[in-house]
Amino acid sequence: MAFVSPTLGVLTLEDMFDDIRQYVENDPEARYSVIVGTDSQLRERGVTFVTAVVVHRRGKGARYYYQREEHRHIRSLRQRIFYETSLSLGVAGRIAEWLSSSGIEDVDIEIHLDIGPNGDTRDLIREIVGMVAGSGFSAKIKPESYGASTVADRYTK
């Protein structure tokens, strides 16, 4: 599971965790949130999915990483949104497990969803937010879901 950092290049999952640890240790008094969001882009030959991990040092900036994958047979919007959510939940679960085993506490994990009250995804809000909440994470939808709709979206193009 490789991630890309705009400043550090390609990182393994462990390298990303090490970088996050160093980032948190550089300012241990700050408050942090980890945001995970996935966006997708339908193309002629399939769908590109990008999952972004944003480590937000509240009031003091952020650092982010992303991973990209391609799929051929996911065409319906409903399937894409559910798959986006499952990708985000999978990464968030790994991060939560790592944070717990590393003794890094007081870090909120948010799932940013590329759905909102306007447009074709509005009918999916209750189901998708319930899926995230049932997994133990807080969910943000548009316009507050910048992890998916801005950061991940940038790399789907």
Instruction: Please give the mean pLDDT across all residues of the chain.
Output: 95
84: left (phi over 0), alpha (psi -120 to 50) or beta: alpha
* Tens-place pLDDT, residues 89-110: 999 999 999 999 999 888 999 9
Decide if pLDDT at 5 tops 90. Answer: yes
pLDDT value at residue 1: 76
Mean pLDDT, residues 74-85? 93
CA–CA dist 105, 91 (Å, integer) = 18
Our CA angle for 51, 53, 59, nearest 5°, is: 140
* DSSP code of residue 123: G
**Domains of the chain: which residue ranges?**
3-154
| Class of 3-154 in CATH | alpha beta
